[in-house]
Every structure is written in structure tokens, then in C-alpha cells.
Chains A and B, each alone.
Chain A
Amino acid sequence: MQKGRWLRFAALVLAVAAWPVAVASRAAIGDQAGSVVLSVELPDQPTAGARLFVQKNCVKCHSLGQPSPVGPDLGRMLFSGTMLDLAGAFWNHAPVMREKMRDMKIQPPTISSGEMADLAAFLTAYRYYLTEIGKPGNATAGARVFAVKGCVRCHDESSTNWFKVGPGLQRYRGRFSSIFLAQAMWNHGPEMARAMRASGVPWPQFSGQEMNDLLAYLQADSVGTNRERVYFEPGSPRRGRDLFASKQCRTCHSIAGIGGHGGPDLARPQELVRSVSEIAGLMWNHSQAMIAEFQRRGIPRVTFSGPEMADIIAYLYFLNYATVRGTPAHGKEIFDRNCGVCHSIGGGARVGPDLAALPGLDEPFAVLSAMWNHAAGMEQQMRARAQTWPRFAPGDSADLVAYLLAERAKHPTH
């Protein structure tokens, strides 16, 4: 064999050998105790899926925050799992949904992987952006918060009072997002801390709806659309991720174990699955300790401007949805139990296709959208074989996807 041919052969071998590695690195960004962290891209515009909700006819059965015509009101459901768990729940209800669609003569929609990701992000965003809708701030409770937390000692709620240290809070009228308040409180934290120490006012702690109530109190006479209204653009989790890095938050906080260890790991489930005002309250509560830590580590004080606070909070919120860990070993069990009767991965076609041979199944939402799009045929086959519809418990869909991606990486026939 000539030298050139040897080289070409070697290059081919290397390329083939590198392929599973590349696929695996795309699918998994970490490996911990037998589990892998699946790469689920954070949405840039989580509300982009709102239009899909109509285009895919979801709105014919489900509503968001209104009485639902057929299915549950998705705006009122508290869903605390990951994005893949949400997609898993979607799968679990597929037979019922298809049956209802048949009754209503609705053609089941075909959903691409991008659309599946957008829909999951939108449903996630709905709770995030509009959670205050379910529990609108209570102005009376807000007045109590204003007095009890000591705000009244430094601020006048209507106008600047020369006898008070802080500025009047009239400027927040017409600003309907609690992020305005949270951002201002964060940015002025050190000054406020100094003034409060001087006045002997303890650092207030906000919990639950208190921040929201406080905003409702400040908005109390902000009625009529005549008054100028100022809104925040919904935060972008992807921009928030970049800010998280550029504002050096990673120096103290880790995300799924990656990053600094001064502060808590922010990829903890449930911790940040709260309303915007609650997350803002949490940040405020910890701001004193954080400022002290900045000083100790010599990190310049972090302030937020424009939409930055909205982006950061959106990132923290979506982190838990997008940080998806799957255990391939458990995924194999699920596969063998439910899918292996009809499918193989690299073992050739059975009743269904060989999943290693199918193109495009190279990221989690592609797997889920393929499952949804072929659900009708799968359901037919399963009925013929008297099989029950497989249901995913929380975490199952991630495990299954992790296993599938890992196995496909071993059989690069697609």
C-alpha cells in the first residue's frame, strides 16, 4: 500500500473513530455518577412559542390563564420538572389528546424539534412571566409591608419628602414589573444599607408575595391607560447566561457543579422556580451577604441596568428547566421495557425502525418530536399487540434520551 493511501486510510479511521466522541460531546456536557448532563439549549425568546400554541391548534383545547374549553388550563398548572419532563408529560397524554382531537375533528399537528423546544420554553415561560397573574399583588398588604419592613422610615410612597433620607417612590407608578423595583433596590443596596444602619432599621427580608404586594401598593392609584406605562421586555435566558458570566457571578456560584463555590449552586431544583417578585425578594434578602463577599474577594460591586436584571432572573429561572441530567443505565431499562419490543438501536429494523439508523435524532427535542409525530402509528401497533402506552415518570424521558443518544453514538450509521 502506498504511503498516501495509508495516510488517507488512517485519516478515515480517525474520522470514524472521532465521530462517536463528537456526538457524545454534543449530547453530554458532563458525566457524574453514571448520569450525563444533556445539552438543552436555553431559549433566547421564550415567548416565541406563543404563536405556535395557536398554529398547532393547542388553543382549541387548552387555554392560558382562562377557563379552558377542553383540556386543562396550562397557565395555571405548576410544573416543577425540567423541560424534558414537560415534554414527557406531553407524551403521556398523547393517546387521550389524539382521541379528543379525533372527536373534535382536529388534525394532530406535526411538531418539529425546534417547535417542540419552543413550545416547552413557552409553557415554562408562561408560569415565569405571568405567575403574578394568578396572585395579583395586594395593595393593602403592600401598605403593611411598606410600614412593617421599615420602608416608610426612609421613603415617601407618593413624592419626595425632604424629611426622609430616601427618594419618593412615585417614579414606580406606571412601572408594572417588580423587576424595576428589584433592580433599583439591588443597585442602591449599599447606600440603603448605610442609611438603614444609621437609622437603626434592620435589613428587611422579603418572602412570598411581599415584593409583589409592595409594588401593588406603589401602583395603587396608577389607574387608567392615560398614565404613561413602562414595561420590561421579557428577559432572555440566553442573554442572562452571558451576563451571569460577564458580571462574574460564576466566581461565587456554580451551575450544576461548574463554577465557584462561595455561594450556592444555582441549578438546584425548586429553589428558583418562583415568581419574578419572589426571586427578586430572594436576591434582595441575600444582597447584604453577597456585597460582603464581593468586598472580601475584592470583586467590584455588581450593578444592573436596562434589561439586565430581567435577563439574569430569566436565566436563573430557566436554569432548572434547561439543566437536564439523564442516566443512560436507567434509560436502557426504560427502553428495554417499553421500546425494545418494536425498536432496536443498531440491531436493524423490527416492527419500528432501527433508531440508530434514523437521521436527525441528535438532540433531546428531536427525539421527543419524533416520538410525538409518530405517536399515531406507534399507538396503532401497540393496540394491535395489546401493549399499554408507556408513561414517563419525572426524569424518565431524560434518562431515555440520554441512553438513546449514547447508543446512537456507538452506532454511527445515520
Chain B
Amino acid sequence: MSASFSRRDFFTYSGSVLAGITLGEWGRRHLARADALASGPSRLPAEWAPSVCRDCAAACGIRVRMVDGAPVKVEGNPLCPIGRGRLCASGQAGIEAYYDPDRLIGPAKRTGARGENRWTAITWDEATAILASRLSGTRATERRPLAIGMEERGPLADGWTKFWTACDARVAWTPAQTSARLRAGFLALTGIDREPLFDLEHATYVLSFGAPIAETWLSPVWAQRSFGRFRRQAGRSRGRLVQVDARRSATARKADEWLALTPEQQVVLAYGLAAIIARESRGNRQFLDRFAGNHAEFERDVVRTYLPDEVSALTGIPVVTILRLARELSATTQPLVAVAADASRELTDAVFALNALVGAYDRPGGIYAAATAPPDGIEDAAGPIEAIAAGRIRPAVLALRDGSALRRSSLVERPDAAFASADFIVSFSPYLDETSTLADLLLPAHTPIESWHAVRAAAVPPGEAIACAAPVVKPRLDTRDPAETLAHVARALGGPAAAACPWTTAEDLVIGELERVGQMRRGGAYTSAYETEWLLQLEKGGWWTSGSQTPQAFRQAVLGAGGWVDPFFQDGEIRSTLDARHGLTFSSPGAAPAIAAAALHASSSAGAQFPYRLLIFETSASRAADPNLPVLYELLGQPEGIPWQPWVEIAGETARSLGIDTGAKVKVVSPGGAMSAIVMVVHGMQPDVVALAHVPALPEGGRWAREIRSDSRQLMAAGSAAATRVRLERV
């Protein structure tokens, strides 16, 4: 070192440099922090956690955005094979359920009169003891308990069924929008007691009888994705959709052609098309010759009964249009006839018969049989609820897992009156909703993001999927999973109930399911579309490779991804069953014209007092409009937008005759009651039909629900929407 640079200089400069670096680093951090705060929440630490939407039986995978440990947003899980990241409005609104200010904060028992909404908080031990005591008391009576919940499959639903079956209860579900109600028609034609799966994506032409494909059909997110691919997919021409629907639904708006027909007329049109296909020998000969069954008799009957002129007269559709539709349907390579999940048995039979004529079974773009059979011993809740309403049964204990029993539009006119006959009602709903307000005991469940999940996805072809996830957050309130509640009650009861419910928590059931699935040595954790395709190709080739070395790793992988999927599906079950049972069994097509004619006659003879036929419908927003999801009330009446109110759709002629237009307020009056609604004029609807959106009212429910004061149930005559006639009064 030269003389001009001394030791002192060295220390001075080094010290200065060090101080500069230190200060500079401090300043940089300060600026970075200020920048992070200025740029808003996107810089805050955030992560996504997988969970499952439990709003319907579709079991879509969701992911919850967590910021500082708090859930702030719900989106679709991109790894979930059902939605691949898409989610319906109801699913996205799920976050509101968690934060709903009117959630039940813990178990409670009724203190006032039933329906009066006066409650006393109790502990879970007290609640368990009350239910156990009630259930042990039922053994002395002849009146079996009844347990109702929304359709769901998987170990948690099985746990519910096992408990109630062990208590000698009837177990029923409300089959939502899946194809569970189509089983009977499918069974009659093919002999397979499974749900039919519609391969919409690969169809080239779809004739839909009221199927809300673009709204709530079967598994809504899957259906809408399939619809997108059906319309536009690389390497093939755009699929054509003809929608036969009483109202101009969202699906009808998107269709290439919309035919406005009432449900009775739809049956006539379906058989009318079958008659033309038969008369002109346009059916799929190869399929029909191989699986003939009673095809010849069916053709003879349908041709004799459904003459084009008569079909035209009953439906109002020109003969030339009917002929064109039949020819289009039979001329395309992969036609598919779709039907609404809650269609009548007559319409279901007609649709399955049409599908048989065009050879739509066990082929791409057609119908397959579901891979797994639905659980045994569960009945459709419609039967028991109607039986209670009619006073035919009086359950000693009525257990309601959620609000679904009465949320559907059409079952009973006065829910409180209907359920009054039950000695004791226990509700597991997390909210004060239609059913819980009637209960004697409230055992509130967690909301989905607080729960364990293992739900078998329904109605998604092909393959199998089980949506699995751990809770995203700890329970915010003193709630409990029904599986855990029932396990406690079972132990208190002892005997068969305790033997049937060996688990302690919902987690036990989920982990048990994952162990079972892991041992099957097929499928794998939810993964990208590409890797799912790779898995499928491996399995087709006879191979399977485990992505996880240990059961713990497998469990972690499945829970981390949000579920398990096995994309492999070996088709041919329908054809092999038909081979074994000597062909198709068509139902008799005879009664439909008479039913349609009767409906037409009723319409013409109703007179001036109640001139309109009432059709009650649900949209994706109104179906899911819960008292705890206010954002869905904002979405009502789309695309016109009639938030927070029920609306009624009427034909242009009807609007002109009444001197009203879209946006006017009317009173819809039936012999049974009246309610207010906003008018939406829909050109092309039949002039003698008014379609009323069902938006569930719950004046005693949470703060959001109180905004809706009346709903379509008040109008229904004799418990049936189909027979109800109304008039419209200007307000």
C-alpha cells in the first residue's frame, strides 16, 4: 500500500462503505415494503387450498384463495376433471356461506311453537342426548323415522345412510338435477339399473327435450363445458342443437332452433318423430336388427298412433318441420336426444326410444350406462314428502340434512303444514332455512370449506371421480360435521347403530375411502388434462403406474390435488346386456296423444277466470338461491336482470292483451293463492302459458332471504304445479 493511503484511510473508507451498504439495504427494504403496501392485496401472501363444492351432486372441485389465513375467494380447481377450473355462479358464491352473518352459531333446541323461530342454545352433549333419546323412543312406535338429504354419493353420504338404516329409518334423497330420475326409463328399455350418461361433447346433433344444457343439466359445469366442445371443437363441424322447451330458457336462446312446447306436447313430438323415422325406415338398421326386442311392435304402434297431421295438430308445429326434424335426426352421424332430469316418465320413455331408433347407445356422442350403480335402499324424497303432506305417513323423527327437501319448487304447498305431522324434526342445516325453521333440534353442520370431503361425482361420462379434500379453515362457529354428530348419537344409542357407525369423525370416513381407493390400484390423484389423458392411455394399454410410493403419500397427493379420478371407461355394457336379454324393451307409446289433447282441452275450457297454464321453472341462479348466498339473488332474471324478485315470462300476445310490457309488476293468481312477479315478455312462447321462476321465499330465514316474501309454492293446486292454472292481474 502506498504512503498516500494509510491504515487510517483504509479503515475510514471500509467503514464508510459498510455503513453505506447497511443504510442502502435498510432504505431498499423500506421502499420495497412501501411499494408492496401501495400495490394492494396482490402482493400480500396468498395461497390456494383445494376443497369441494357441495351445492349439488356434481361435486365440482374448487380452490379457495387464502390471504393471511382467511378465505377470500372461491374458484374452480383446474385439476378437477369435471370443470377444469370452471365453476358455476353458485359455486363461486360459496364463500358467502362461510361468512353468512345469519349462520347458526351452534346446536339449539326449540323453545317456542314449531316454526316460531325461538331457540335455546345447548351443548353438543345435550343435543346428542336429545336425539338419542328421541330415536330410542321410536323403537316403541310403529312410525319409522325418515331421513332426507340432497343426493350425494360417497363415504360421507354412505355414513348418513348407514346410521339411519341402523335406526330403522327410511332414507330418501332429493335427486337434484342428476339423471337419477331417468333410471326407471333407461332400465325399462335396456334392463340396466344404472344412470344413463349422455356423451354430449361428441354428439353431432342434439335434440333436447327441455334439458337445460346451458344451465343446470345433470352436472352443470360439465354440461356447459361439453356444450362448448359440442359447438366448437377442432377437426369437426359445429354441432347443431334443437331445443324443445316450454319457455325460452338460456339453452333455448343458444339453440339453433327453439320449439315452444309444453311437457305433454313434447311427448307427442318425440313419438311423432319416432313414427316418421319408423315409417321412412330411417332408423339405425344395424343397431335395431341386432337388438330388435319388441321393436317391431313398437314401430307398428307408433306409426299407427302418431300420424304427422295429428302430431302437428296437437303440437302446433307444421308437418313439414316435424318431417325435417326426423330426417335431420336420423341423417347425422352421431345424433343424441337429451331430456331434462326431472322429465315425466312418458317423456323419458319417448326420448330413450328415439335414442334407440338412431342407435345412440354405447357409441361416442350417445348414451352410456354409468360405471357404478347408485346406492341401494335410498328412495326419491318426492314420495315420502308427498306421503307426509297427504297424511299417509307420520314419521316419529324427521331428519333433514339440508334445506333441499323443500327447496325444490313443486312438492308441497305448505311446508310447515306438511311437516307438522312429524313428532320430532332434527335439522343439520348450517342456516335457518325452510326446513330448519320447522325443526325441534338444530345440529348445524360446517360449511363446505370447513368440512372434510369425499364425494363421488355424479353423471359425468366417462370414468369415475371422487372429489376429496381436507378442511380449508377451522370451523368459524360451534358447528359439527353430521358424520361426527351421528357417530356420537350412535354410541349413545349402542346396539345396531353403534355397530353400523364405527367412525368417530368425518376425517375417518374420508381416510377410509382413500385407503379403499388406493388399494384398487387404478386411477390417480386429480391432475392436468394431459396427464389424465396419459393415465387413460396407460390403462387402455393394460398399465397402471402409482404416482405415490406409500399410502400416506397417495392420501396426501389426492387431498392436495382435490380428488381421485380414473378416466378409463370400457363401453359396451348396454350392448352386451341387450344381447343377454334378447334386445330392447320399448314402452307402449299409446297414451301421450290423449294426455296432450286433455291438456289442450283444459286450456280451452278453463275460461276467463284462470286462462293460463302455469309452468314453474328454475334457473342456475334461482335453483341455488339460498338464504345465505345473496349474490345469487343479484343474478336472478338474467340476461335481462331482475335481481331480488321472482319474474314471470309471458308471450308477446299475452302482454299485448294485458297492456303490459317487460318490467311491469303483475300479480299471479291461482285458485290456491297469489304472488307478485315482474313481467318478462318472451316472443315465441305459447300464448296460453306463463312461466314463473321459482325463487324460494323464506320470510323467517336470514336477512337476505327475508327480501323474498312469496314464492310459487303458494300458487300450486293440489300439490302439483302441472295442474295449476292462473290469471295475471296488473298491479
Give residues in A with beta carbon < 8 Å to B: 45, 47, 50-51, 53-54, 59, 64-67, 69, 75, 129-133, 175-180, 221-227, 229-234, 276
Query: By the criterion CB–CB under 8 Å, are A232 and B572 in contact?
Result: no
Cβ of B373: which chain A residues have Cβ within 8 Å of it?
A: 226
CA distance A385 to B521 in the complex (A): 57
CA distance A79 to B568 in the complex (A): 27
A369 CB to closest chain B CB (Å) equals 23
20 pairs from A and B in contact (CB 8 Å cutoff): A50-B531, A59-B530, A67-B235, A129-B543, A130-B537, A131-B541, A133-B537, A133-B540, A176-B541, A176-B542, A177-B543, A178-B542, A180-B542, A224-B369, A225-B372, A226-B371, A231-B521, A231-B544, A232-B544, A234-B543
Instruction: Say if the beta carbon of B26 comes within 8 Å of chain A.
Output: no
CA distance A179 to B543 in the complex (A): 10
Instruction: Say if the beta carbon of B55 comes within 8 Å of chain A.
Output: no
Question: What 0/1 readout, one digit per residue, does chain B (217-240) give for beta carbons within 8 Å of chain A?
Answer: 000000000000000001100000
Query: By the criterion CB–CB under 8 Å, are A231 and B542 in contact?
Result: yes
Query: By the criterion CB–CB under 8 Å, are A225 and B566 in contact?
Result: yes
Partner of B234, one of A64, A69, A229, A232: A69
Query: By the criterion CB–CB under 8 Å, are B531 and A51 in contact?
Result: yes
B645 CB to closest chain A CB (Å) equals 46
A-B contact count (CB 8 A): 93
A384 CB to closest chain B CB (Å) equals 38
Query: By the criterion CB–CB under 8 Å, are A225 and B569 in contact?
Result: yes
Query: By the criterion CB–CB under 8 Å, are A54 and B569 in contact?
Result: no
Query: By the criterion CB–CB under 8 Å, are A65 and B537 in contact?
Result: yes
Instruction: Say if the beta carbon of B571 comes within 8 Å of chain A.
Output: yes
Give residues in B with beta carbon < 8 Å to A: 234-235, 369, 371-373, 463-464, 521-522, 528, 530-531, 533-534, 537-546, 566, 568-573, 576
Given A177-B542, A226-B371, 16 more pairs with CB closer than 8 A: A47-B545, A50-B531, A59-B530, A64-B537, A66-B533, A69-B234, A129-B538, A129-B541, A130-B538, A131-B541, A177-B541, A223-B573, A225-B464, A231-B542, A231-B543, A233-B545
Cβ of A225: which chain B residues have Cβ within 8 Å of it?
A: 371-372, 463-464, 566, 568-570
B539 CB to closest chain A CB (Å) equals 6
CA distance A175 to B572 in the complex (A): 17
Query: By the criterion CB–CB under 8 Å, are A234 and B545 in contact?
Result: yes
Among residues of B, the one whose C-beta sits closest to the C-beta of A65 is B537
Query: By the criterion CB–CB under 8 Å, are B542 and A233 in contact?
Result: no
Query: By the criterion CB–CB under 8 Å, are A233 and B534 in contact?
Result: no
CA distance A50 to B531 in the complex (A): 8
Closest 8 CB pairs of A and B: A177-B542, A231-B544, A225-B371, A176-B542, A223-B572, A224-B573, A130-B541, A223-B573
CA distance A54 to B414 in the complex (A): 56
CA distance A133 to B539 in the complex (A): 10
Among residues of A, the one whose C-beta sits closest to the C-beta of B569 is A225
CA distance A67 to B533 in the complex (A): 13
Most buried by A among B534, B568, B572: B534
CA distance A304 to B570 in the complex (A): 29
B193 CB to closest chain A CB (Å) equals 12
Query: By the criterion CB–CB under 8 Å, are A47 and B463 in contact?
Result: no
Query: By the criterion CB–CB under 8 Å, are A54 and B528 in contact?
Result: yes
CA distance A221 to B540 in the complex (A): 15
CA distance A232 to B541 in the complex (A): 10
CA distance A222 to B566 in the complex (A): 17
Cβ of A64: which chain B residues have Cβ within 8 Å of it?
A: 533-534, 537
Query: By the criterion CB–CB under 8 Å, are B534 and A176 in contact?
Result: no
Partner of A176, one of B372, B539, B546, B576: B539
Cβ of B528: which chain A residues have Cβ within 8 Å of it?
A: 54
Among residues of B, the one whose C-beta sits closest to the C-beta of A228 is B520
Query: By the criterion CB–CB under 8 Å, are A233 and B541 in contact?
Result: no
Among residues of B, the one whose C-beta sits closest to the C-beta of A136 is B540
CA distance A133 to B533 in the complex (A): 13
Cβ of A176: which chain B residues have Cβ within 8 Å of it?
A: 539-542
CA distance A91 to B708 in the complex (A): 68
Cβ of A75: which chain B residues have Cβ within 8 Å of it?
A: 537
